[in-house]
Structure 1
Amino acid sequence: MSQLQDQSLRTNFELSKQLQQRSHQLVPGGAHTYAKGDDQFPTLSPGFISHGQGCHVFDLDGNEYIEYGMGCRAVTLGHAFPKVVDAARAELERGCNFSRPSPLEFEVAEELLSVITGADMVKFAKDGSDVTSAALKLARAHTGRSHIAYCSDHPFFATNDWFIGQTPMDAGIPAEHQELSLSFRYNDLESVRQLFANHQDQIAAVILEPAKYEDPQDAFLHQVQELCVENGTVFILDEMITGFRWNIGGGQREYQIIPDLSCWGKALANGFSVSALTGKRELMELGGLHHDRERVFLLSTTHGAETHALAAALATIQTYRTEPVIETLYEQGRKLKEGLDNVIRDFGLSKYVQIHGRPCALVYHTLDSQQRPSQWFRALFMQEIIKRGILGPSFIISYSHSDSDVQRTIDAVEGALPIYREALENGVENYVDRPTASVYRKYN
């Protein structure tokens, strides 16, 4: 019997349900991040997390879980990681926001730039949308062009109009803004060539993640960069996911490519709110004081350089330098994938439950009896592993996941798979009350 199957299943969410009813009266959607909303999880799941330590979290009803994809992938070292918390606490006791810059801003700038090959300057902000949109503004100012091209296979770049206007949730976004954004496919160089052919001398920037679930094929990143050079277009890499996970220097170091600009966040400060735009001096300096070109209002955020958050970023980077963080993410991820693949195969469900991605960033796909992607089966799978102590919208691992945590996760999936198999035979609607949903949908 698995280690989790002999424990009582987690099905009591009474306090969470009570607060959920109130939360929707106060906060649109009941959460401040769409990915954390009720529609992204099965009904039978914790509505709120009280606290966490390492990779373990606790809900309002006292249920304990091993968590994956922690903090929308921002918590890579672990919750309340001591070195990071201690560094942030020390700065809070000295004040966190002043009328002139803190020296810490430049210490962190030097530390971050030291791990990003080819980047000369950095500007800090609070979230990823700030810096991806700032990168596009720089590119437009530098080139004098208006159109941008983004990779449609990468699910999120910003809350700003240039990106959200391309999703079904485009309400409130002027059509003229939407028309300036063009899309291409990952590992499809011809789709990029076609954009340049159809919009000659119009594209200011190309933005994409270095990778998502598959690596670049046939030097795709380098060939896209060559097209950008040929067409006078700024080449931007979004390192929100790949940064400090694929490699301490991000996907760009992993794939040996130097972009014009790159955007960082999430794991940069282990959950504290820090993002960064880095890049070549000729572009970045447009937002500065030492040039004779037209000024660019780049990034100017009241809280962008709060000292406690920057101290957390500094401690995080230094932890990556001195401890085997990246190596551990890959090692534990490989153990997890091997174990999950084995139990899925043992139940004859390899066509229906699939584990994809790099070992450091594993996700699962849930398919129905016709082997089509299914939100109903995603809800069922999440429900059943939640019952067994795993809170996993993905299987994206952290530095804090031990061998025991990995094995308990495998055991929990082993306990969930018989239910999945029954649902394939008898109808999933008999096992879960509603599907999860895509964030990007026109109507509720």
Structure 2
Amino acid sequence: MAAFIQTFEGSDRLRRRAHDMIPGGAHTYAKGDDQYPVLSPGFIASGSGCHVTDVDGNTYIEYGMGNRAVGLGHAYPPVLNAVRQQLELGCNFTRPARIEVECATRFLELVPGADMVKFCKDGSDATSAAVRLARAATGRDLIARCADHPFFSTDDWFIGTTDMNAGIPQAVQALTLGFRFNDLESVRDLFTQHPGQIAAIILEPARGPEPTDAYLRQLQVLVQEQGALLILDEMITGFRWHSGGAQTLYGITPDLSCFGKALGNGFALSALAGRRDLMELGGIEQTDKPRVFLLSTTHGAETHAMAAAIATMKVYRDEPVIAYLEKQGKALKQGVDQVIDRHGLNQHVRIVGHPACLSYATLDQNLQPSQAFRTLLLQETIRRGVLAPSLVVSYTHEADDIARTVDAFDGALGVYAQALERGVHGFLVGRPSAIVFRRFNEYSRGEPRRAAKASRG
């Protein structure tokens, strides 16, 4: 796919206004300008299936899919129709709506290991509620989270473990520990170092690497032996690895699990699910233990979001969504891998992850991870009509979309190869993108922070 002339004048005007009114210029750090090349669409106007159009009229095949929240495709008709019908009836009432029971029923049918479910709006609320519930149930304060998994919550218990921990008391930071994925001994060491103090272990069931052998089952046994709880964060794996979550695929039943993202195909709905005896601690019927303020959100049960989730779950139940995502992801990886090989870039560009949730690694001349080369690859695929901060497929990515994407990577990797020989900054327009969790900003609206660099010598 040849590069074509693009203009981002509309996006640039909106960027200036956005940064004047919105800290960071966006409401999600992963969508911020610092995560993308200077030559990139700043604002999306519309989307249909796997295609999006920016405010300047440029169109793209998209692979971010709303940070993995859109599994079926943008503006997917059965979901939109269900939402429209529900909105005619109102979206938020003084008492629960009947659809809340229907949505819970559908969810528990899909996730057989859960006895009860409570819905909310985002993944952070769900995981933080699980953490609070675990602490209440065990009477312990410490939480151990997988240090290999990048994000669990916007709340202090997690953000305090990152480099972006300004404003979080040290006492709170000390309450969260880290362990390594697929490393049972690192978890065992934590229990040895903090006997009787760890309330829960929280991790994603899979991310890049798959769990080895019987890792998850062995982890669950260890956690149970130590009197702690196992929490699975299925925000990404749920509705991608299996319609019942990766826990169903791997044959494990966690004490608590958290779902979101693709649950509503982009509409805001997440879920905390788990064992009845634990979930009832946040109810109004148990009488022998202190009450847990579990989840109570004004908008958590908006009826149109639940209608979206019901329609989405129906598609996953009745159609081969999971198999399709895996098939298209494998086809995409195979095609891009062939292009990488043809350009002799096997040591510099790698396609990694589950077929339904692929990403890519970019390395420089010294085979070190490089934000500059990542930004260059993203810049060049954007120039060829592909918006791919990741390579996450949807139910609406068709064979032609995959073929056009492979063609775009072919052209982009040709530029990548030249940049390895002649220097990346001769090809990258503007500054490289940055990692989200950084203690200081290196760039301000695309320009280097010269004062900050000077202060560090």
CA deviation after TM superposition for structure 1 residue 69, in Å: 2.1
Of 393, 412, 415, which residue of structure 1 is paired with 2:411? 415
| Amino acid of the structure 2 residue aligned with 1:331 | K
CA contact (8 A) 1:337 1:359 kept: yes
CA deviation after TM superposition for structure 1 residue 10, in Å: 4.3
Partner in structure 1 of residue 39 of structure 2: 44
Matched, 1:316 2:280: no
CA deviation after TM superposition for structure 1 residue 430, in Å: 1.0
Of 249, 255, 273, which residue of structure 1 is paired with 2:244? 249
Of 255, 262, 266, which residue of structure 2 is paired with 1:267? 262
CA contact (8 A) 1:10 1:389 kept: no
| Amino acid of the structure 1 residue aligned with 2:309 | A
Of 52, 55, 62, which residue of structure 2 is paired with 1:57? 52
Partner in structure 2 of residue 336 of structure 1: 332
How far, CA to CA, are the matches of 1:10 and 1:155 in structure 2? 35
Matched, 1:443 2:440: yes
Unpaired runs of 5+ residues, structure 2, are: 442-457
CA deviation after TM superposition for structure 1 residue 379, in Å: 0.3
How far, CA to CA, are the matches of 1:358 and 1:295 in structure 2? 40
CA deviation after TM superposition for structure 1 residue 414, in Å: 0.5
What TM-score does the superposition give when structure 1 sets the normalisation length? 0.98
CA deviation after TM superposition for structure 1 residue 12, in Å: 1.1
Q: Which residues in structure 2 correspond to 1:84-233 (within 5 Å)?
A: 84-233=79-228
Of 59, 72, 75, which residue of structure 2 is paired with 1:77? 72
CA contact (8 A) 1:356 1:364 kept: yes
Matched, 1:375 2:371: yes
Partner in structure 2 of residue 279 of structure 1: 274
| Amino acid of the structure 2 residue aligned with 1:234 | L
CA contact (8 A) 1:68 1:395 kept: yes
How far, CA to CA, are the matches of 2:86 and 2:97 in structure 1? 11
Cα-Cα RMSD = 0.7
| Amino acid of the structure 1 residue aligned with 2:237 | T
Q: Classify the secondary structure of the residue corresponding to 1:365.
A: strand
Unpaired runs of 5+ residues, structure 1, are: none
Identity %: 60
Partner in structure 2 of residue 362 of structure 1: 358
How far, CA to CA, are the matches of 2:352 and 2:60 in structure 1? 22
Q: Classify the secondary structure of the residue corresponding to 2:311.
A: helix
Q: Classify the secondary structure of the residue corresponding to 1:361.
A: coil
Of 340, 345, 364, which residue of structure 1 is paired with 2:341? 345
Equivalent pairs counted in the alignment come to: 439
CA contact (8 A) 1:11 1:45 kept: no
CA contact (8 A) 1:165 1:177 kept: yes
Partner in structure 2 of residue 31 of structure 1: 26
**Cα deviations across residues 71-124 of structure 1 (Å, max 9, x unaligned)?**
010001000000001101111110000000001001010100111122100000
Q: Classify the secondary structure of the residue corresponding to 1:360.
A: coil
Q: Classify the secondary structure of the residue corresponding to 1:411.
A: helix
How far, CA to CA, are the matches of 1:378 and 1:255 in structure 2? 33
**Cα deviations across residues 205-245 of structure 1 (Å, max 9, x unaligned)?**
10000000111113111111111110110110000000000
How far, CA to CA, are the matches of 2:244 and 2:372 in structure 1? 38
How far, CA to CA, are the matches of 2:215 and 2:425 in structure 1? 42
How far, CA to CA, are the matches of 2:125 and 2:89 in structure 1? 27
Question: Which segments of structure 1 move beyond 6 Å, counting only runs of 4 or more?
Answer: none
| Amino acid of the structure 2 residue aligned with 1:368 | D
**Cα deviations across residues 305-343 of structure 1 (Å, max 9, x unaligned)?**
000000000000000011111111011111111100001
**Cα deviations across residues 26-61 of structure 1 (Å, max 9, x unaligned)?**
100000000000000000000000000000000011
